[in-house]
């Protein structure tokens, strides 16, 4: 399987997971599309492949359904520490923490950008930031 086939397979995997969450929330693509401020048929076009799936779509759908990105991606791929394949060499001892810090910072930037686009309110941003901060371990300052 070449790179583009693998990317397409992953896109379909994420779309299937989003469909399942929408089904569990007993909503339609139309309802979710309206919640994220799009035309009534926009998400149907995204899910059919007529419009390319972007992370902004995923984040907007998850926000509309009140599902955190962390929960979603852990549901799709499993928790970060049980992804299956062992490393070819032992990771650096600081890797788990540094990976979590990068993920944490990336999610904060994404949330802030979605707020700027009007997808999240100030209160939602504060709630999401608090949720993210609770997930992070206390980190001692570097000396």
Residues 42 and 102 in one domain: no
- State which of 47-51, 117-121, 129-133 shows the largest mean pLDDT: 47-51
Q: How far apart are CA 98 and CA 103, in angstroms?
A: 9
Residues 20 and 70 in one domain: yes
Other Cβ atoms closer than 10 A to 99: 13
Q: φ and ψ at 98, to 5 degrees?
A: -65, -40
Residues 58 and 3 in one domain: yes
Q: What is the pLDDT of residue 25?
A: 92
108 found inside a domain: yes
Q: Give me the mean pLDDT over the 62-88 stretch.
A: 72
Q: Does 78 or 15 have the greater pLDDT score?
A: 15
> pTM for the complete prediction?
0.56
Q: How far apart are CA 14 and CA 138, in angstroms?
A: 32
Q: φ and ψ at 139, to 5 degrees?
A: -115, 125
Q: How far apart are CA 65 and CA 48, in angstroms?
A: 20
Residue 48 clears pLDDT 90, i.e. is over it:
yes
pLDDT in tens, 15-47: 999 999 999 999 999 999 888 888 888 999 999
- State which of 25-29, 105-109, 125-129 shows the largest mean pLDDT: 25-29
- Mean of per-residue pLDDT scores for the chain: 78
Encode the chain in three state secondary structure.
Answer: CCHHHHHHHHHHHHHHHHHHHHHHCCCCHHHHHHHCCCCCCHHHHHHHCCCCCCHHHHHHHHHHCCCCHHHHHHHHHCCHHHCCCCCCCCCCCCHHHHHHHHHHHHHHHHHHHHHHCCCCCHHHHHHHHHHHHHHCCCCCCCC
Domains in the chain, number: 2
Domain limits for position 111: 91-138
Q: How far apart are CA 83 and CA 98, in angstroms?
A: 17
117 found inside a domain: yes
Q: What is the pLDDT of residue 142?
A: 44
122 found inside a domain: yes
């Amino acid at each position: 399987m070449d790179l583009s086939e693998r990317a397409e397979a992953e896109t379909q995997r994420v779309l299937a997971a989003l469909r399942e969450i929408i089904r569990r929330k007993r909503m339609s693509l139309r309802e979710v599309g309206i919640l994220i401020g799009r035309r009534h048929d926009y998400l149907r076009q995204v899910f059919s492949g007529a419009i390319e799936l972007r992370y902004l779509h995923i984040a907007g759908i998850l926000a509309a359904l009140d599902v955190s990105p962390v929960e979603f991606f852990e549901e799709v791929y499993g928790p970060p520490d049980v992804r299956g394949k062992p490393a070819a060499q032992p990771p650096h001892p600081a890797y788990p923490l540094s990976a979590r810090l990068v993920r944490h910072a990336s999610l904060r930037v994404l949330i802030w950008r979605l707020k700027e686009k009007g997808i999240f309110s100030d209160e939602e941003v504060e709630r999401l930031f608090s949720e993210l901060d609770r997930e992070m371990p206390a980190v001692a300052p570097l000396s």
